[in-house]
Amino acid sequence: MKLGVCYYPEHWPREWWADDAARMADMGLSHVRIGEFAWSRIEPDPGHFDWDWLDEAVETLGAAGLSIVMGTPTATPPKWLVDAHPDILAWDQQGRPRRFGSRRHYCFSSETYRAESARIVSAIATRYGRHPALGAWQIDNEFGCHDTTLSYSPNAARRFREWLAQRHQSVDALNRAWGLVFWSEEFRSFDEVDPPNLTVTEPNPSHRLDYARFASDEVASFSRLQADIIRRLSPGRPITHNFMGFHTSFDHWKLGRDLDFASWDSYPLGNLQEAWFRDDEKLRHLRQGHPDVQAFNHDLYRGVGRGRWWVMEQQPGPVNWARFNPAPVDGMVRAWTWEAFAHGAEAVTYFRWRQAPFAQEQMHAGLNRSDRVEDQGGREARQVAAELKEIGALDPCGRAPVALTMASEAEWHLAIQPQGQGFHWVPLAFEMYAALRRLGLDVDIVGPDGDLAGYRLVVCPSLPILREDTLARLDASGARVLFGPRTGSRTVDGRTPSDLPPGPLQARLPMKVTRAESLRPGGGPTVRIGAATFVSRLWRERIETELAPLATFEDGGPAWVQSGRWNYLAAWPERGLADAVVGRLVADAGLATVPLEEGVRLRTRGGLAFAVNYSDAPRRAPAPDGAHFVLGGPALEPGGVAAWRLG
């Protein structure tokens, strides 16, 4: 458990570097990320490398005892490179080449750019790969940011056709798989297939689904290209990529397989303001962040990293990029850091060392102000460093009692065919996740091929494409399973199963979804469990089954059916219904829950329980009487953290 910081030596006078390094060490930081975005300084002219400054930076930081995370600079190809090879540019959905002038302007499908990326990464890895201060590598930066996973360039079109030929083998198979007989869209050869943009009305959904898969594979192979080079030239140094919160445009699990550990960039206040939450929720958590947003992503990336993960960028104060950019309440940066460690983070890296006095992010806080004075974030990092020393190392997180499954193609399919405005996987899954967390439970988020053994409850918020091997793993796990609406409603090719949804699930849970409807806000449906009635929203399925329902819609139709350990919920649960359904299954599974005051959350790691108060009022830590506190105590101020030994 260690702290670090993102640093851009090229932004500051060389004279400051040694002092910066000394102050990092003094603050208790042990690693520093550099290099990302620095291509124009490393190779200022085509083929002419300027290693001088980077050598000095590496030496200076290493000399201060800091371990270096080197970022590859491929997110920002310089102007001379783009001018020489315009085919590097991605094309947007409107059919225009995207232009130089910010970042991420490259197309994953540009062979030129793949070659150029290999060239620059090789050069950097050759020079620093075996340097003693070199601790780890970060590939590129935030793949998919600014809507850059999908490109509609001629390069993308060409490689998409190759990808399709590989996947479908024959164009007849493609025509059948996508159902292209519909609207006379059949192709005579793969060469006739285009990217699915600028069509008159919606393109074929299987076309879009395969395009999403293709684009995701392009990201993964681009990343792998770099990882392979680095592994060869920098043996023993682990490789990561910094993912983003709630970002679903490419398959994190697939990309994660080529990484040694996962990391993500956690901006609690910015993420909240830009996400789907209602205005009143955004207001309530304005300066603390949502109590479950960070946790959800921590659990996700712990899964992606197969247990090993970092926060690579941690918000240290106000950011610059959200619609509104409030400042965290004092203490909150520390609280977020501890929440990450409680979820098993190996490291938390603050972004950035010092607020920049120029360019796009000059309103983004750092640990230090741009006038070189330590800022609030720096003071809180210093405090965490001291506390870490006190507490000592903790074991990684153990297996949680509950798993929540996540597959990128679920999100892609639902985004392509929402059927009702606002039907997306993440908010639906989050509703169930938050219900678990409000019960004080630890949760693992598990990918499409993740191991499900040992869980007592597995929640599949919605799994439209329900693959046989997923079912086999669920069979094997013995866990209680809750499936959300639309599970099993599509084949791998994006078609409706011939025996209707939930397709292969019917062998375990005898039921059919014969109809689905989406409802506008205020239009229900309501769901009844015993005497209790819950207002639900957006979605209602008609279920044909002989099972006695555990919950019903207003007309008596089944809303929740159960057969043995298999459960299916035919509605989009809002808080009350989510609490009721999840609560009942948790109880059935014999899991112990912890009563939590509003805004307080709990997480365990390495024999400790951690509690954070996300509310704006004092709360009590949910610790037993006489608990042995290693951090804080029973009284939790707003933004307060406590940790105690588990009995």
Residues catalogued as catalytic? 142, 313
Is the Cβ of residue 197 or residue 563 nearer to a second copy in the bound state? Answer: 197
Among 95, 590, 618, 624, binds a second copy (CB under 8 A): 95
Q: Does 242 bind a second copy (CB under 8 A)?
A: no
Task: Name which of residues 516 to 575 contact a second copy (CB under 8 A).
Answer: 516-523, 540, 542
Task: Name which of residues 397 to 456 contact a second copy (CB under 8 A).
Answer: 417, 419-421
Q: Strand 566-569 to strand 480-483: parallel, antiparallel, or no bridges (unpaired)? A: parallel
Do 8 and 37 meet the contact criterion of CB atoms below 8 Å apart? Answer: yes
Tokens of 22: 């000394």
How many CA atoms within 13 Å lie on the side-chain side of 272?
27
Among 2, 33, 104, 601, binds a second copy (CB under 8 A): 104
Please report how close the Cβ of residue 124 comes to a second copy at its closest, in angstroms: 14
Q: Report how far residue 137's alpha carbon sits from residue 284's, in angstroms, rounded to the nearest whole number.
A: 38
Q: Strand 619-620 to strand 635-636: parallel, antiparallel, or no bridges (unpaired)? A: antiparallel
Using alpha carbons only, what angle is made at residue 74 by residues 73 and 79, rounded to the nearest 5 degrees? 95
Is the Cβ of residue 80 or residue 276 nearer to a second copy in the bound state? Answer: 80
Binding segment toward a second copy, per CB under 8 A, in 331-339, 388-396, 515-523, 566-574? 515-523
Do 262 and 243 meet the contact criterion of CB atoms below 8 Å apart? Answer: yes
Lookup result for tokens 């709630």: 246
Burial of 302 (0-12, 13-18, 19+ CB in 10 A): buried
Task: Name which of residues 450 to 509 contact a second copy (CB under 8 A).
Answer: 493-500
Is the Cβ of residue 19 or residue 45 nearer to a second copy in the bound state? Answer: 45
Provide the 8-state DSSP code for 548: P
Task: Name which of residues 129 to 188 contact a second copy (CB under 8 A).
Answer: 145-146, 148, 178-188
Instruction: Map 393-412 to HEC letters.
Output: CCCCCCCCCEEEECCHHHHH
User: What is the maximal distance between C-alpha atoms in the chain?
Assistant: 77
Q: Does 85 bind a second copy (CB under 8 A)?
A: no
Among 47, 132, 200, 595, binds a second copy (CB under 8 A): 200
Task: Name which of residues 328 to 357 contact a second copy (CB under 8 A).
Answer: 355-357
Q: Does 78 bind a second copy (CB under 8 A)?
A: yes
Q: Does 10 bind a second copy (CB under 8 A)?
A: yes
Is the Cβ of residue 80 or residue 468 nearer to a second copy in the bound state? Answer: 80
Binding segment toward a second copy, per CB under 8 A, in 40-48, 259-267, 437-445, 631-639? 40-48
Q: Does 316 bind a second copy (CB under 8 A)?
A: no
Closest Cα partner for 413 from 466, 334, 353, 480?
A: 466
Q: Does 363 bind a second copy (CB under 8 A)?
A: yes
Buried (b) or exposed (e) across 351-376, using 16+ Cβ within 10 A?
bbbbbbeeeeeeebbbbbbeeeebbb
Do 3 and 348 meet the contact criterion of CB atoms below 8 Å apart? Answer: yes
Is the Cβ of residue 462 or residue 604 nearer to a second copy in the bound state? Answer: 462
Is the Cβ of residue 100 or residue 243 nearer to a second copy in the bound state? Answer: 100
Strands of 257-401, DSSP E: 262-266, 309-314, 347-350
Binding segment toward a second copy, per CB under 8 A, in 24-32, 124-132, 256-264, 319-327? 319-327
Q: How crowded is residue 24: how many other Cβ atoms within 10 Å of its Cβ? A: 26
Please report how close the Cβ of residue 525 comes to a second copy at its closest, in angstroms: 10
Is the Cβ of residue 321 or residue 395 nearer to a second copy in the bound state? Answer: 321
Strand order in the sheet with 629-631: 600-605, 608-613, 641-645, 629-631
Please report how close the Cβ of residue 92 comes to a second copy at its closest, in angstroms: 8
Q: Report how far residue 52's alpha carbon sits from residue 222's, in angstroms, rounded to the nearest whole number.
A: 28
The answer for residues whose C-beta is within 8 angstroms of residue 57's C-beta and 6 or more apart is: 9, 10, 17, 34
Task: Name which of residues 207 to 236 contact a second copy (CB under 8 A).
Answer: 207
Provide the 8-state DSSP code for 156: H
Among 14, 19, 26, 44, binds a second copy (CB under 8 A): 44
Q: Report how far residue 72's alpha carbon sits from residue 39's, in angstroms, rounded to the nearest whole number.
A: 8
Count of residues in contact with a second copy, rule CB under 8 A: 111
Instruction: Map 272-324 to HEC letters.
Output: HHHCCCCHHHHHHCCCCCCCCHHHHHHHHHHHHCCCCEEEEEECCCCCCCCCC
Q: Does 361 bind a second copy (CB under 8 A)?
A: yes
Please report how close the Cβ of residue 47 comes to a second copy at its closest, in angstroms: 13
Residue type, 435: A
Please report how close the Cβ of residue 238 comes to a second copy at its closest, in angstroms: 25
Q: Does 206 bind a second copy (CB under 8 A)?
A: yes
Task: Name which of residues 249 to 288 contact a second copy (CB under 8 A).
Answer: 273, 279, 282-283, 286
Please report how close the Cβ of residue 206 comes to a second copy at its closest, in angstroms: 7
Please report how close the Cβ of residue 394 comes to a second copy at its closest, in angstroms: 33
Buried (b) or exposed (e) across 325-345, using 16+ Cβ within 10 A?
bbebbebbbbbbbbbbbbbbb
Please report how close the Cβ of residue 519 comes to a second copy at its closest, in angstroms: 6
Q: Does 580 bind a second copy (CB under 8 A)?
A: no
Please report how close the Cβ of residue 353 comes to a second copy at its closest, in angstroms: 14
Binding segment toward a second copy, per CB under 8 A, in 101-109, 236-244, 253-261, 425-433? 101-109
